[in-house]
A and B are shown apart, each in its own frame.
Chain A
Amino acid sequence: MAINTDKNSYTILFAIGMVIIVGTLLAAIDSSLKEKIKTNKILEKQQNILYAIGINNNEGNSVSFVSTDQAPSLFEEYIVSQIYIQGDKIVEDDEAYLIEVKKEKALAKDPTYDRRLPLFIAQRDSVRYYVAPIRGKGLWDAIWAYIAMDENMMILGAYFDHKAETPGLGANINQRFFMDDFIGEKLLDQNENFKGIKVSKTNLDPRNEIKDDHEVDAIAGSTITGDGVSSMIKSDLRLYIPYFKKLKQN
């Protein structure tokens, strides 16, 4: 029996049927995998923070995190306290790493809202690391980073990542030849003023041996991603200055 597929009623029924089938299918798959995806994201956060303080399985030039089985216990071991800064308050919160920078940024658009700024304090050997999560915009979509600093806001480690930068170009901000350049760079100048770090195409220092120029070498062909990194560092890490000032006074 041939169906007359050109009838209006058939077209509408087909469309409705298809939407119901596809919608149910996707909703079922999504809700059955939701928990697993959430756990993966939390583990990834822990891996990223650990990476920034130098706990990783890097070999040669590759970027390699600690395994997902080890991440929670290592995270317990090295992160001595988690805090968030809200206005003048400093609140200790063992789940500060679950605060989503994206949501806080959106909420901060309301001028009456004091944004929560998470900060993770880690102790490794005799060094204290202060890890701040930051977030900004690249060329296509969001970029973010975990920056580990000492109490003078000198960078001790960094992990950058992105949602959808161009493969082979901007996407390389999560490669070691880019991230490692930040280590040793200072966010404050000699007079303790915030200068940030610029991703520069003109610093003529590809191996990044000069550490007090507030510049790192850019990736060829990814100007806008690089500018996004510069402005993300400038706008987000600046917010932590009052905390570090207070830290020094004590």
Chain B
Amino acid sequence: MGLLSKRDSKLILDPLSDNNPITIQVLGICSALAITAELEASVVMSIAVLFVMGIGNVVISLIRNIVPSRIKIIVQLIVIATLVIIVDLVLKAYAYELSKTLSVFVGLIITNCIIMGRFEAFALANGLWRSFLDGIGNAFGYAVILVIVGFFRELLGAGTLWGYPVFGDAIDKTGLYAWGYENNGFMLLSPMALIVVGIIIWIQRSKSTHLIED
């Protein structure tokens, strides 16, 4: 047997496919629409969420037995906000450049419903190790969708990937543009992100039909 038992590895693998936080649980849609205009931004956001979810789930799981149920939502919010602010401060002091790239995501992480959703649905009822795995798994599930959406939006909207022009120069009309290809500026706007997520959901459900509800 490997590092993880079957039950544990399910926690990591499920969110990547059959229990994906965005396409199945429909959590975290807001940030998936907001910051996926570029691949780089998608990856930065994914890493930030991975970090906060991993640690946040552990902290919540640690205090799950002593949290008064009537204020548990407030407690969860405070845990997320504290973690994010600590990360932000430390980056500002030791990796200033990186902190500037991240600054806009700070607010988006705090309000990300995936994090609250997993605290509520999983960490409050499970032990440390399993909560940690669940956090990491869901963050990866989130990251996969973000990267796919970011990939298509940047490619079709701006003709670049990670800032690198893959189709040639749109203004000088070189590469693909010489043949009359044009960037689709609509891809850069949030509505197209929703459509891309919709297409992903469509493909996923037509492949695994057991996911379709009546």
Binding site for B on A (CB under 8 A): 3, 5-6, 10-11, 14-15, 18, 22, 25-26, 29-30, 33, 36-37, 40, 44, 61, 140, 163-169, 171, 206-207, 220-221
Contacts and interface: CB of A to CB of B under 8 A. Distances in A.
A29 B137 CA distance: 30
A30 B163 CA distance: 34
A33 B95 CA distance: 12
> Which 4 A-B pairs rank lowest in CB-CB distance, beginning with the nearest?
A168-B37, A167-B41, A168-B38, A33-B93
B147 to A, nearest CB: 14
A25 B82 contact: yes
16 contacts: A5-B69, A11-B68, A15-B68, A22-B78, A26-B82, A30-B89, A33-B90, A40-B92, A40-B93, A44-B96, A163-B104, A164-B103, A166-B34, A168-B35, A207-B171, A221-B37
Interface string B80-100: 001001100110111010000
Given A14-B66, A15-B71, A36-B93, A168 B78 contact: no
B71 A220 contact: no
A164 B108 CA distance: 11
A167 B107 contact: no
Contacts of A163: 103-104
Interface in B27-79: 34-38, 41, 65-71, 74-75, 78
A164 B88 CA distance: 14
A18 B89 CA distance: 20
Given A30-B89, A37-B92, A22 B82 contact: yes
Nearest to A164: B104
B38 to A, nearest CB: 4
A11 B171 contact: no
A169 B188 contact: yes
Contacts of A168: 35-38, 41, 153-154, 158, 188
Given A164-B107, A165-B104, A168-B36, 19 more contacts: A5-B65, A5-B69, A6-B69, A14-B67, A14-B71, A18-B78, A22-B78, A26-B82, A33-B93, A40-B93, A40-B96, A61-B163, A140-B104, A166-B104, A167-B37, A168-B35, A168-B153, A168-B154, A221-B189
B175 interface: no
B198 interface: no
B143 to A, nearest CB: 16
Contact of B185 (A11, A22, A165, A221): A221
A29 B71 contact: no
A36 B182 CA distance: 47
A22 B84 CA distance: 13
Contacts of A61: 163
Contacts of B71: 11, 14-15
A199 B38 CA distance: 22
Contacts of B90: 29, 33
Contact of B188 (A14, A29, A221): A221
Nearest to A17: B66
A167 B96 CA distance: 18
A59 B36 CA distance: 26
Contacts of A165: 104
B185 A33 contact: no
B180 to A, nearest CB: 17
Contact of B38 (A36, A140, A167): A167
A25 B202 CA distance: 46
A166 B92 contact: no
Nearest to B104: A164
